Amino acid sequence: EIGRSRNTDKADRATVEQALDPRTRMVLFRMLNRGVFNDVNGCISTGKEANVYHATKSDGSELAIKVYKTSVLEITVLDMATVVTIPRKMVKTWAEKEQRNLKRYWLYTCFIGRLHAAGIRCPAVILLRLHVLVMEFIGRDGWAAPRLKDAALSLDKLRECYLELIIQMRVLYQKCKLVHGDLSEYNILYFEGHLYIIDVSQSVDLDHPLALNFLREDCDHVSDFFKKHGVAVMTIPELFDFIVDPTISDENVDSYLEEVQLKVIERGEISVEDEIADSVFMKSYIPKSLDAVNNPEADVAKITSGQDTGDMLYQTITGLKDALPKVDEQQIEVNA
């Protein structure tokens, strides 16, 4: 059961050891010798891509160890006779896949570094060795903090968490220059009244061709969770705009949020129209860069003439929305 990792008795430990392949055991053994930790206790989570274990140091401090599964590692348990019969091409593919994976784990530590530097709550990476990632443990006394999904928070606390999270999503984008890519109630832990973002395995830099598509998915998942639990949330385009708008600064972010909150409260229940607008937004085309904008002149004309530009997704992303002041009536008269 998630959040209940306290199992330090011998039988459980034996199961943990059995589940590890020889190479993982070697990496953990070396870490143990170097005093990175003194005990690997129970398994906190078993996933498709990785298992997470709880470890302790002799001073009582706690760590989480994420061990990625890679099928390539299994070659170490094959006997030599089998190994020689494996086609060379296959070995090459495996080796390449392993290199790609190792680079991903390395990127993970870089991304966590960026989150930390920007003050986002997340478990700091302590050490990465091959496919074994040692990080800060979020929890206490062997009890892992629950995922947001399992935290059973009051409506008031959920409202607070929603605000905290969307501000963190904005920092992630604006300061860390990252999109999480797998943000949902499954990859957020709730600990001591705050949210901790974990699992940046799917994260991408903003220059990734699909970064904005991933961000839109993240917005959708986050909105869904809070909406489901009764929190009055922004529409998905509103949330997306809040995250990407470069004209919001540290100084005016609070007043921006207050304004949006008022709008959300006034609106009350999300209407059918809003639901439709959300799903249209989820399916619309997002230009990857300004180069990919098809007809900039027509778009600029549309903005300056004060026409409805709700379907122009990139105007907020690029700052165009505020760069071009709308022509007011008086000016038109003078020009005429």
Residues noted as catalytic: 182, 199
**From the list Mg ion, ligand ADP, none, which binds 120 (C-beta under 5 to 8 Å, kind-based)?**
none
Q: Does 187 bind Mg ion (CB under 5 A)?
A: yes
Q: Does 198 bind ligand ADP (CB under 6 A)?
A: yes
> Which residue lies nearest Mg ion, judged by its C-beta?
199
Q: Return the H-helix or E-strand segment holding 263.
A: helix 253-267
Q: Does 184 bind Mg ion (CB under 5 A)?
A: no
* Residue pair 161/185 in contact by the 8 Å Cβ criterion: no
* Three-state SS at 193: coil
Q: Return the H-helix or E-strand segment holding 278.
A: helix 272-283
Integer Cα distance of 237 and 216 in angstroms: 8
Choice between 47 and 193, CB closer to Mg ion: 47
Concatenate the DSSP letters of all residues of 92-148 into one string. HHHHHHHHHHHHHHHHHHHHHHHHHHTT---PPEEEEETTEEEEE--EETTEEPPBG
Greatest C-alpha distance within the chain: 89
Whether residue 57 is annotated as binding a ligand: the answer is: no
User: Encoding tokens for residue 8?
Assistant: 């330090």
From the CB of 37, what's the least distance to Mg ion, in Å?
Answer: 22
Give me the half-sphere count of Cα atoms (radius 13 Å) on the Cβ side of residue 263. 12
Q: Does 138 bind ligand ADP (CB under 6 A)?
A: yes
**From the list Mg ion, ligand ADP, none, which binds 52 (C-beta under 5 to 8 Å, kind-based)?**
ligand ADP
**From the list Mg ion, ligand ADP, none, which binds 168 (C-beta under 5 to 8 Å, kind-based)?**
none
Q: Does 312 bind ligand ADP (CB under 6 A)?
A: no
Q: Does 127 bind ligand ADP (CB under 6 A)?
A: no
Q: Does 199 bind Mg ion (CB under 5 A)?
A: yes
Q: Does 64 bind ligand ADP (CB under 6 A)?
A: yes
Q: Which residues are at the interface with ligand ADP (CB under 6 A)?
A: 2, 44-45, 47, 49-50, 52, 64, 66, 123, 135-139, 144-145, 147, 187, 198-199, 201
